[in-house]
Amino acid sequence: MARVTIEHLTKQFKDVKAVDDLSLEIPEGSFVTLLGPSGCGKSTTLYCIAGLEDATGGEIYFDDVRVTELSPKDRDAALVFQDYALYPHMNVQDNLAFALKMRRTSKSETKQRVQQVAEVLGLERLLQRRPSQLSGGQRQRVALGRALIRDANVFLMDEPLSNLDALLRFNTRTEIKRLQRELGTTTIFVTHDQEEAMVLSDRIAIMSEGKLQQYSSPKETYNRPANRFVAGFIGSPRMNFLDGEFGIENEAAILRGRATIEIPGEAARRIAADRGGAVVAGVRPEHIRLSPGASGGIPGVVELLEPVGPVTYVDFTIAGSPLRASVPASTMLEPGESVGVSFEPDQFHFFDKVTGARIDVA
């Protein structure tokens, strides 16, 4: 397996800069996800790594070997496409064996490796079937098998789960994670699904408009988003944001916007003292507490309830400002009901109103 180094990668399509000065270090044997909305440059980055797109600028290395200008076949990278890309006239066995035959691998070794990969992916009983006789999940496993059988230095996956239904997505991503851990493959995975990224990854590279926004572990990405974009993109439901003037009043941190809110916690008080003025404050739905009745917190009004099993998402307003909380399913609330709103101490995030950058305690 190889370490992948990307240095100042740029890819320009006429007037559009799809990838803008991207630098990443992907350790050997790690699972890294390129995450972001459609059009952010994540698939273009993957295709540059694979050699399917020529970089406009920058360098790409596998270990210490510069591969920027090498053809795809000389990079020893295996790519799994979104649409499976299986040969319809070949059965599963021949689809798995195709890359080995092109390399003129001996028949005995080809047979042995096909059998090994089929056992790993649970395809032993499907070897004589053609793709048209397989389910979507089975076809995706064959596509993964075609990549695994090559024993490549780097495995590249371009939204391989997007064509699967919810249950198959869950099962297949579990299989991908298990295989990657067992085989120790260096894997770069592209998705726009933040849940996939959080579950699968050692590190997540979040992109927007071709630029890298944050590169960190799933835990750090969630707990310490680098800017407002990352904070709003990671998390379901998304983070609540409140604009206002931040300052100290009676030794407490106060945010004055459409409503005046006291923000609890020592971190908030210190930031208000050091960086008072216009800020954006963010708080995740699970860090908001709602108490039936108008007492016991900031007055709010319930607008909508969305039960989702063990929790209920509650849309509510404070002085007309819309917010969302995640509360236990046992919490009894009704639309139109008054509630008392409180926040967990030290669970707010603060961002510069102009640049969007995170503000931390000095």
Percent residues over pLDDT 90 in the chain: 67
**Which residues have a Cβ under 8 Å from the Cβ of 174 and sit 6 or more positions away?**
none
Parallel, antiparallel, or unpaired for β 298-308 and 311-318? Answer: antiparallel
The verdict on 213 and 288 lying in the same domain is no
114 DSSP assignment: H
DSSP string over 234-282: SSSSPPEEEEEEEEEETTEEEEESSSEEEEPSHHHHHHHHHS-EEEEEE
The verdict on 183 and 291 lying in the same domain is no
At 139 the pLDDT is: 86
Q: Which domain holds residue 355?
A: 240-359
Mean pLDDT of 314-334: 93
> Using one digit for the tens of pLDDT, what is the confidence trace for 247-301?
999 889 999 988 889 999 998 999 998 887 889 999 999 999 999 886 678 999 9
- Among candidate residues 233, 248, 276, the one where a domain is terminated: 233
Mean pLDDT of 114-129: 88
The verdict on 245 and 224 lying in the same domain is no
> Using one digit for the tens of pLDDT, what is the confidence trace for 204-262?
999 999 999 999 999 999 999 999 999 999 999 999 999 989 999 988 999 998 888 99
At 197 the pLDDT is: 95
At 348 the pLDDT is: 95
| Rounded Cα distance, 250 and 269, in Å | 11
331 DSSP assignment: -
Closest CA to 45 of 176, 162, 190, 202: 190
| Rounded Cα distance, 66 and 354, in Å | 39
Residue 133: CB atoms within 10 Å: 12
Mean pLDDT of 29-52: 96
At 320 the pLDDT is: 86
The verdict on 221 and 244 lying in the same domain is no
User: What contacts 24+ positions apart, CB below 8 Å, involve 168-173?
Assistant: 168/135, 168/136, 168/137, 168/140, 169/196, 171/137, 172/137, 172/140, 172/141, 173/199, 173/200
Residue the block writes with tokens 């790594």: 49
The verdict on 224 and 324 lying in the same domain is no
SS3 call for 40? coil
Closest CA to 234 of 35, 41, 39, 43: 35
The verdict on 123 and 254 lying in the same domain is no
Residue 159: CB atoms within 10 Å: 19
pLDDT: is 1 or 100 the higher one? 100
At 191 the pLDDT is: 94
At 125 the pLDDT is: 92
| Rounded Cα distance, 101 and 123, in Å | 20
Q: How close are the terminal C-alpha atoms of the chain, in Å? A: 41
87: domain CATH number is 3.40.50.300
The verdict on 107 and 247 lying in the same domain is no
Domain total in the chain = 2
Q: Are 143 and 92 in contact (CB under 8 A)?
A: no
The verdict on 195 and 261 lying in the same domain is no
285: domain CATH number is 2.40.50.140
At 278 the pLDDT is: 87
**CB-count burial class (<10 Å; 0-12, 13-18, 19+) for 250:** exposed
The verdict on 228 and 272 lying in the same domain is no
The verdict on 188 and 296 lying in the same domain is no
Q: Sorting pLDDT into bands at 50, 70 and 90, what band is 362?
A: low
> Using one digit for the tens of pLDDT, what is the confidence trace for 191-202?
999 999 999 999
For 116, list phi and psi in degrees, rounded to 5.
-65, -45
> Using one digit for the tens of pLDDT, what is the confidence trace for 41-97?
999 999 999 999 999 999 999 999 999 999 998 998 988 887 777 889 999 999 999
Closest CA to 56 of 47, 65, 64: 47
| Res. 169: pLDDT tops 90 | no
